[in-house]
Amino acid sequence: MLDLAIVGATAVTPSGMRRADVGVRAGKIARVADAGALGETASRTIDAAGMLLLPGAVDPHTHLDAEMFGSRTADDFESGTTAAACGGVTSIIDYAFQPERGSLADAAAKWNEKAERRATIDYGFHVAILDPTPEAIAQIPRLAERGITSFKIFMMRGFEARVRDFMRAFRAAGEAGALLAIHAEDEHLIGYCTERLLSEGHRSVEYFAASRPPLSEESAVKRALAMTAVAEAPAYFVHLSSAGAIDAIRRARAEGRVVLAETRPIYLYLTEDRFRDPRGERYVGYPPLRPQTDVDSVWAALADGTIDVVATDHCCWMLEQKLAADRFTRIMPGMSNLETLVPMLYSEGVAKGRISLERMVDLVAANPAKIFGLYPHKGAIIDGADADLVVFDPNRRTTIRSIEMHSRSDYDPFEGFEITGWPRETIARGEVIVADRKHSAQPGRGRFLARDRFSPRWRES
């Protein structure tokens, strides 16, 4: 006897789209069968006729319960994972930051303490290396053994003063089978542009994009590609936003390099014109929003396979926190994206013919699961996988209103967008935790995800 059967949906599986019934037992997918085969064999049946059945999304880039500039984000692991589940995300990988004068293990322990009693969906961690001492670098293989198999490098935050130390960390990560997640922005170019703007009296948010021009991202990507080549380490570039940076990734791939690329929703749906809106501070993130030509380049990279993952970089604040800064350099970066990741990519990408449904599933589920060592337990509708599933209504029309969202942030960057397609039910390890936008999971039900080491042959999984 099955615990649950989802019947009649069009399922997106690794072998393609087909009408199918999916049976669940003990939190796992027990059977993917032809439509009509399972309806009378389960304790509970969900009629999903006319719906799509998607694997739960895996968001490998979140910042929950994080501190920046002396302030704490609006979402902790409870509210953030609740918002995620309501949008069809069933696993996240959050960034744990090495504390000042602390170790990488300290970071992982602190973040686990934040998550284990609050997360409603499964979670893992990357560790951000801020102080690449020999002691910290020595911990990289130990953390990889514990299932923390990716590490973040900011090419800002004093990176230039310690490039050789960071390159030693690159090498250690590569040798440990870990993946480097690289925030690529050139701090010297940004510093020069910022100083010039401030000296001319330009302090408001409308000058933010000019302080971090596309060339600052492209330059950093090219430099990081050279560094990781010398260090013999694979590179995963987070939140790419510009045509020049994407072209650099294409060239590196053509040369046979193991290089991976991610973008985030704001670079698909918004342009730098938003910084001229009233309260344009709402849209500040690192890197900034770009001109329409760059937005078009990001969409093209989704379609042609240059970009592997769409992840949120969910790092949200209350509006008062965003508006408090007296100059663009002090505006809190980041915004809420977790609940809208899947439906907006469907609405703006699939429904408008920019990408296929199968490609969308790759971008938000299969690829992040494969890249970050979670496949085949996550990211696919196959026998034996965790029963992380989303019954998705492709015809439901929804207007995004912050008051109806589940993030604690009191504004949404996509306020007023009219969306076609929205999750009807979210199922995590066989448990229906969201139905019709109502969340029922208890805090602490999420489990820590110990991940496999990175495989350069991940595309063949």
Task: Give which of 161, 158, 166 is closest to 133, Cα–Cα.
Answer: 166
What is the C-alpha to C-alpha distance for residues 87 and 273, in angstroms, rounded to an integer? 27
Summarize the confidence of residues 309-313 as an average pLDDT. 98
What is the C-alpha to C-alpha distance for residues 222 and 189, in angstroms, rounded to an integer? 14
Cβ count near 399 (within 10 Å): 11
Summarize the confidence of residues 128-139 as an average pLDDT. 97
pLDDT, tens digit, 9 for 90 and up, residues 432-451: 999 999 999 999 999 999 99
* Three state DSSP letters for the chain: CEEEEEEEEEEEECCEEEEEEEEEECCEEEEEEECCCCCCCEEEEEECCCCEEEECEEEEEECCCCEECCEECCCCHHHHHHHHHHCCEEEEEEEEECCCCCCHHHHHHHHHHHHHCCCCCEEEEEEECCCCCHHHHHCHHHHHHCCCCEEEEECCCCHHHHHHHHHHHHHHHHHCCCEEEEECCCHHHHHHHHHHHHHCCCCCHHHHHHHCCHHHHHHHHHHHHHHHHHHCCCEEECCCCCHHHHHHHHHHHHCCCCEEEEECCHHHHCCHHHHHCCCHHHHCCCCCCCCHHHHHHHHHHHHHCCCCEECCCECCCCHHHHHCCCCHHHCCCCCCCCCCHHHHHHHHHHCCCCCCHHHHHHHHHHHHHHHCCCCCCCCCCCCCCECCEEEEEEEEEEECCHHHCCCCCCCCCCCCCEEEEEEEEEEECCEEEEECCEECCCCCCCCECCCCCCCCCHHHC
Are the CB atoms for 391 and 51 separated by under 8 Å? Answer: yes
Flag the least confident range among 38-52, 61-75, 207-221, 425-439: 38-52
57-377: in CATH 3.20.20.140 = yes
Would you place residue 461 in the very low, low, confident or very high pLDDT band (cuts 50, 70, 90)?
A: confident
Are the CB atoms for 426 and 434 separated by under 8 Å? Answer: yes
What percent of the chain is predicted at pLDDT more than 70? 100
Would you place residue 38 in the very low, low, confident or very high pLDDT band (cuts 50, 70, 90)?
A: confident
pLDDT of 298 strictly over 90? yes
**What predicted TM-score, i.e. pTM, was given to this entire model?**
0.98
Cβ count near 89 (within 10 Å): 32
What is the C-alpha to C-alpha distance for residues 22 and 382, in angstroms, rounded to an integer? 9
pLDDT of 40 strictly over 80? no
Summarize the confidence of residues 194-204 as an average pLDDT. 98
Summarize the confidence of residues 378-386 as an average pLDDT. 98
Are the CB atoms for 454 and 373 separated by under 8 Å? Answer: yes
pLDDT of 120 strictly over 90? yes
pLDDT, tens digit, 9 for 90 and up, residues 414-429: 999 999 999 999 999 9
Summarize the confidence of residues 135-153 as an average pLDDT. 98
Summarize the confidence of residues 51-73 as an average pLDDT. 96
Summarize the confidence of residues 329-339 as an average pLDDT. 97
Cis peptide, bond prior to residue 376, ω within 30 of zero: yes
What is the C-alpha to C-alpha distance for residues 192 and 419, in angstroms, rounded to an integer? 40
Summarize the confidence of residues 85-94 as an average pLDDT. 98
pLDDT of 37 strictly over 90? no
Task: Give which of 233, 29, 174, 150 is closest to 450, Cα–Cα.
Answer: 150
Are the CB atoms for 181 and 148 separated by under 8 Å? Answer: no
pLDDT of 80 strictly over 70? yes
Domain residue extents for the chain = 57-377
Would you place residue 39 in the very low, low, confident or very high pLDDT band (cuts 50, 70, 90)?
A: low
